Structure formats: C-alpha cells, structure tokens
Amino acid sequence: MLKALQSPLRLMLERLELLFDKPFGPPWNPMRQLGTLAFFFFWVSAVSGIYVFILFDTSVSGAYPSIEYMTHEQWYLGGVMRSLHRYASDGMVVTMVLHLLREFSLDRYRGVRWYSWFTGVALIWLLMLSGISGYWLVWDQLAQYVAIGSMEWLDWLGIFGEPVANNFLTRGSLDDRFFSLLVFIHIFGPLFLLFAMWIHVLRVNRAKINPPRGLAFGSLAMLVVLSFIHPALSHPPADLGTIPTELGLDWFYMFLYPAFDLLGPGALWALSFGLTLLLFVLPWLPPLRRAKAPEVFLEQCNGCTRCFDDCPYGAVIMQPRSDGRPFLQEAVVNPDLCTACGICVGSCPMSTPFRSDAKLVTGIDLPTLSLDTVYERMTAAIAKARMERNTERPGILVVGCDHGANISTVEGDATHAISLPCIGMLPPSFVDFALSDGAADGVMLTGCSDCDCHHRLGIVWTEDRMAGLRDPYLRKRVPRERLHSYWAGPGDLAALEDELQRFRDRLIENGT
C-alpha cells in the first residue's frame, strides 16, 4: 500500500532528477538540493523583507501608499526587493513541497528520521502563516479578502469572544492597533519559522543547509530577473465597504481560500487538521522495521573516533574507556539514532581482511550483516569472476548498495556483485584486498545517485577514502586504473551498464 504510493512518485521525481543532471551536473542539481534551496529562499526573503520593512508604513492608511511608493517610485530597488520578497517566499513553497514528496518517496521519513519529518510538518504551518500574513500588510483588496477569510476561518473555533472578523466589518473598523498586530504576526511568524527550521535539522548530523555557490547564484539571478520583468504589484486599495470581485491570488499560499468560500470554515478545519494529523503520524504508518544497531567489540576498538566522525546520524558517541585498556576513549552506539547503515564499519581501521584470524572481527560491526559475511560474499564473488574471466572478459567485482541501482542485474560474464546497506560500509582495505595478487581485474563501486546518498554521507566518505583524503585511506599501492566508480540511482541502470562496459574496455586496453 505504502509502496504503491511511493513507487510512482519516486519514478516521476527521478525522471526529473536525471533530466536536470545533464545541464546542472549532480552537485548543482536543484532536485538534489531542495532542502538547502528552501533555506536559501528563506534568507533571500529575510534580507529583502528587512529592506521592504524600512520603507513600509505600519498604519492602516499609510501601508498601501508606502508599498505603492516602493513599487513605482523606487522600482529599481524597493520594487525589486518587494518582488524578491514575494517570489523567494513562493519558491520556498515549491521547494518545500518537492522536498516533502521526495523524502516521502525515497522512504527517508521513517525510523530514526521521524524527527525531521515530524518537525517538517510544523514547518508547513509556519510557512503558510508567514506567507499569508505578509499579504495582509499590503492592505489592498487581496489583503482584505485574505484577511477576512483567515479571520472567519479562525472565528469558527469560537475561542475569541467577539469574532475577529469584526475588525474588518465596515470602513473604519480596522484600527492601527489591530493592524500592528498583523505586522507583529508577520515578523514573528518567520522568526518562529527560522527557529523551527533549525530544530528541523538538529538531529541531522552535518546537515547541508546552504546550496552550492553555483546553484545559489543561479537561483538568485533567476529571482532578480523575474523581479525586473514581472514585478510584484498590488491590487486596488482595500475598501471594507465593498467586496472585491476579481482577485489575482498567489496560489502557492492561497490555494485553500477558494475552497474556504466553497466549503465553509468547518470543512476546511477538518481538511487541514486531518491532513496535518495524517502527515504527523505517517512515519508510523507503518513504522520502519529497523535493523539491529552495530555492536562495538572493545578488544578491537582503539578509540580512534573515526566511526564517531563518520556516522551520518550522530549515533556513535565516544565515552571514557571502560575496559582498562590504555586508550582514552571507546565507541558507544545509541540504537535510537542508528539506521544500521554500516558506515561506521567502513570507517574502522580494524576492518581489514589482511589478517590471519579465522573469523574477521572488527571494532564495530553489524549483527545483521557482519564484516565477516561481507568478506565471505566478496571472496565468493571474486572466485566466480575469476573462473569466468578470459582475455576478452576481465573479472570484475561490483560493490553497490541496497538503495541504488539494482546491481544483481549486472551479474554474469565474469562480473559479480555484492550489495551493502550503504557503499560507505566498504572498508578501503577490502578494495585493496580484492585487487591484490590479481584476485579481481577490476573493482567497480556504485551506490545511490551522485550527491544523493540514501545515508547522506556514504558516497562522500567513500570518495574521500579512495582519494586519500579521509581515514582510512586506500593504500597507495592499489593500482587506481583498476578501480572505478559510478554513482547510479535506481533509475540509472542503463548508464551504469554503459559505464561498466567502458571500464571493461579500459581494463582490456591496459592489458589486465
């Protein structure tokens, strides 16, 4: 049931991602940067908002003319700032919705990630409050319509003695005091939003908050150009003695208002509350079956902190040594934060196959897929590859992950694959081992799409380890031309196969 919802959505979004990969390149692909883009649009909106506020008159009678002034007299700066303020907020809605759909379709909202999802739902309300309250301040016909609609909606709750909508009953009903309250809401709404955005990523270790410079620059340029050629304009001034007729709604924020006119406040409360509630409990419908968290084997752990550094979920903390061995610290895993991605296993310097022990024991290991099992599977795959290889067909070991392209389909013809929970679980020494003494002719690493690791940091850490930037390094002696990587998502299988073929050709050319 859940899959039936997720899969088509995922397919659609993936199409879009692959489409954007070509012109942008994965690091700048906006579809892979939706959360950071939403943050960026917030900052654009905040900065332009401060400028607009300087020119804004906070009285009922002064608000509209002050905005007309910045739009028409000071169009080159005030007008542009006003437009930036509007369009960046709209951009936030677009990126937020896509971000939500994407996290949902990729199943990145259950298990330990419930926290980000749960706080994300609150962000929807805060963003809506921030945007809608901004439209009140223009005090044009749109503001009048939206303000009265909002107040009637609130009044349905019956918690205010007098209907709040009575503040908009007749000409002269709206006083400066109430108008300052609206201004107050529009200042504190976004501040709360920012606070909540901070809370939203609090549990995400090394969260990416800022988009890459190229993408930030491009999006800003886009907003500025849009602001010049299609500046934000006001409706005619509000007049509480008349009803507005035709309204140019900002559909990103006001999509519910026509529904309100149609269905009435009660139905709309039911709808918005019901939907919010559904979103809130979604991570437990059904809950993610969590794999067991890794165990630390103290006799192997020397307290080097690498697993602590590499865990994308902050699930490892270092504690004072408890077993009397002469090290300062030891690793301790908090199962409540762990996704069993295995990245810590790949980071442990003790995870090496070049040992004489009968069973491979490392400092930190997954109970469900121990490094020893990985070792067995890898040697079996290499053995099969060796049997089938010939001069035309180099023996290749493919290491992939459970969230990327389905690598079992590339099996055969001297190519054999193993899959890990995350490519970051692969210790570099395993690559060394696979290529030493000509065990395999080549090793191909793959996982999720570029810049889009399911466990966020698995790909980056792997690349860094192979490039000698991050402990544990891939040793210098490993012939780099026999190692290859291509980050292919589930929808990118064809590209992976092409790349694999190219790798084969290269290996043959190099005479392996």
Partner 1 sequence: MSSSVNVYFFIAPLIVFGPLFLWLLYSFGLREIAKIPGEIRRQNKLNSEKEDRFERERARKRGRGPVGVVRGANTSVLGLFAQAITYAWFAAVVGILASSPPYFFSAPEDAQIKLSLSHPGKRKVECRLRSREELAKLPPNMRAPKDCPRERWPVFVELEVDGKRIFAKSAAPKGIANDGPSIFYQAFSVPAGPHRLTMRLRESGNEGFDFRRSETVTLDNSQVLVAGFDSASHSVFFK
Within positions 330 to 389, which residues make up the interface with ligand SF4, using CB under 6 A?
Answer: 331, 333, 338-344, 347-350, 363-364
Taking CB within 5 to 8 Å according to partner kind, which of ligand SF4, ligand HEM, partner 1, none is near residue 162?
partner 1
Binding residues for partner 1 restricted to 321-340, rule: CB under 8 A: 329, 334, 336-337
Taking CB within 5 to 8 Å according to partner kind, which of ligand SF4, ligand HEM, partner 1, none is near residue 364?
ligand SF4
3-class DSSP state of 512: coil
Residue pair 156/100 in contact by the 8 Å Cβ criterion: no
Angle (deg, nearest 10), helices 428-435 and 458-466 = 50
Interface pattern 193-212 for ligand HEM (x via CB under 6 A): ----x--xx--x--xxx---
- Residues 363 and 377: their CA atoms lie apart, in Å, by 20
Interface pattern 118-157 for partner 1 (x via CB under 8 A): xx--x----------------------x------x--x--
Place of tokens 């332009």: 48
Cβ 312 to ligand SF4 shortest distance, Å: 6
Dihedral of the alpha carbons of 315, 320, 325, 328, in degrees to the nearest 10: 100
Residues binding ligand SF4: number (CB under 6 A): 29
Q: Which pairing describes strands 442-445 and 415-420: parallel, antiparallel, or unpaired?
A: unpaired
Residue pair 454/422 in contact by the 8 Å Cβ criterion: yes
- The smaller minimum CB distance to partner 1, of residues 361 and 490, is found at 490
Tokens of 183: 């201004």
Beta-bridge mates of residue 401 = 420
**Residue 416: φ, ψ to 5°:** -135, 150
Q: How far is CA 26 from CA 32, 212, 450, 501, in A?
A: 8, 11, 6, 22
- The smaller minimum CB distance to partner 1, of residues 68 and 155, is found at 155
3-class DSSP state of 319: strand
Using the contact rule CB under 6 A, the part of the chain among 101-109, 214-222, 416-424, 466-474 near ligand HEM is: 101-109
Select from 44, 121, 304, 316 the one that contacts ligand HEM (CB under 6 A).
121
Select from 96, 307, 378, 414 the one that contacts ligand SF4 (CB under 6 A).
307
Interface pattern 437-456 for ligand HEM (x via CB under 6 A): -------------------x
Q: How far apart are the first and last CA of the chain?
A: 49
Binding residues for ligand HEM restricted to 228-287, rule: CB under 6 A: 279
Select from 115, 297, 327, 473 the one that contacts partner 1 (CB under 8 A).
115
Binding residues for partner 1 restricted to 252-291, rule: CB under 8 A: 252, 257-258, 261
Cβ 451 to ligand HEM shortest distance, Å: 10
Taking CB within 5 to 8 Å according to partner kind, which of ligand HEM, partner 1, ligand SF4, none is near residue 99?
ligand HEM
Taking CB within 5 to 8 Å according to partner kind, which of ligand HEM, ligand SF4, partner 1, none is near residue 139?
none
Query: 200: which residues sit within 8 A by CB, 6+ positions away?
Result: 116, 119, 120, 123
Beta-bridge mates of residue 237 = 140
Beta-bridge mates of residue 420 = 401
Select from 70, 137, 164, 397 the one that contacts partner 1 (CB under 8 A).
164
Taking CB within 5 to 8 Å according to partner kind, which of ligand SF4, ligand HEM, partner 1, none is near residue 232?
partner 1
**Residue 417: φ, ψ to 5°:** -125, 150
Query: 17: which residues sit within 8 A by CB, 6+ positions away?
Result: 29, 31, 32, 449, 452, 489
Residue pair 401/419 in contact by the 8 Å Cβ criterion: yes
Angle value at C-alpha 460, between 458 and 462, nearest 5 degrees? 65
Select from 132, 165, 183, 197 the one that contacts partner 1 (CB under 8 A).
165
Interaction site with ligand HEM (CB under 6 A):
35-36, 38-39, 96, 99-100, 103, 108-109, 113, 116-117, 120-121, 123-124, 127, 197, 200-201, 204, 207-209, 279, 456
Interaction site with ligand SF4 (CB under 6 A):
293-294, 296, 301-307, 311, 313, 315-316, 331, 333, 338-344, 347-350, 363-364
